[in-house]
Amino acid sequence: MAREDDARRAEGPRANQKLRTRKDLLVAAARLLQDGRTPTMDEVAEAALVSRATAYRYFPTLEALLVEAPLQGAAPDAEALFADDPSTDPEQRVDKALAALQRMTYRNAPQLRIMLAQSLGTAPGDAPRRQNRRTQLIEAALAPVREQLDAATYRKLCRALALVFGTEAMIVCTDVLDLDEAAAREVTGWTAQALVRAALDDRAAGTPRGRP
């Protein structure tokens, strides 16, 4: 377990840097698109201050980059979402974050489906295939109780909540369960709040679930 934790800590900064580089490319592409023209990969790479080879490592095709770029600005910003929110109730805050991301997801469903299909068709490599937008929202929502949860429980809760945030949850609700947006909102909201309560119950009991 100690070796696994050491490896996770070592990978953390590298993984964060990769996501930052990927985000820089998306932001640069979005800015160029706003100028009313379709940029080349060379232009995006130059604007993001990376090499052309690096840009292609993160986005195998220009189409993949340009499909996702407009979504970067559409995603809710965690800091802005909770800037004027005095609530310390983790269930309410998680529900608020989930609602914000779900609105964005349903409004941009066609592009998100294309983006997901492209990522599924790309072989795993050194660069991340997806931009992790949900984790920042989840961590911001849980900020008031972060210090009340042990590291393992907090990590497990963040990962569990990630399963009901975002594109995949929308596709399950729409394609598998045949739910409209309102019904999907009810189901995912109930699930997210149940996960938060379970983590807080673990804290109160002093024994993480799955352990004797």
* pLDDT of residue 11 exceeding 70: no
Q: Euclidean distance between the first and final Cα of the chain, in Å?
A: 17
Taking the CA atoms of the chain, what radius of gyration do you get in angstroms? Answer: 19
Q: Per-residue pLDDT for 135 more than 50?
A: yes
Q: What is the pLDDT of residues 89-113, one digit of tens each?
A: 999 999 999 999 999 999 999 988 9
**Residues 31-55: what's their mean pLDDT?**
92
- The chain-wide mean pLDDT, for the chain, equals 87
Domain extent at residue 23:
1-71
Is residue 121 domain-shared with residue 35, that is, in the same domain? Answer: no
9-39 as b/e: b if 16+ CB within 10 A: eeeeeeeeeebebbbbbbbbbbbbeeeeeeb
Number of domains in the chain: 2
Residue 205 confidence class, pLDDT cut points 50, 70, 90? low
Q: 160 vs 154, 156, 204, CA distance in Å?
A: 10, 6, 19
- Asked if 61 and 106 sit in the same domain, the reply is no
Q: Is there a single domain that holds both residue 59 and residue 104?
A: no
Residue 191 Ramachandran class (φ > 0 left, ψ -120 to 50 alpha, else beta): alpha
| pLDDT band of 120, cuts 50, 70, 90 | confident
CATH number of the domain to which 27 belongs = 1.10.10
Question: 119 versus 197: which is more confidently predicted?
Answer: 197
> Which DSSP letter does residue 75 get?
S
User: In this predicted structure, what is the pLDDT of residue 5?
Assistant: 46
Asked if residue 113 and residue 63 are part of one domain, the reply reads no
Model confidence, pTM:
0.76
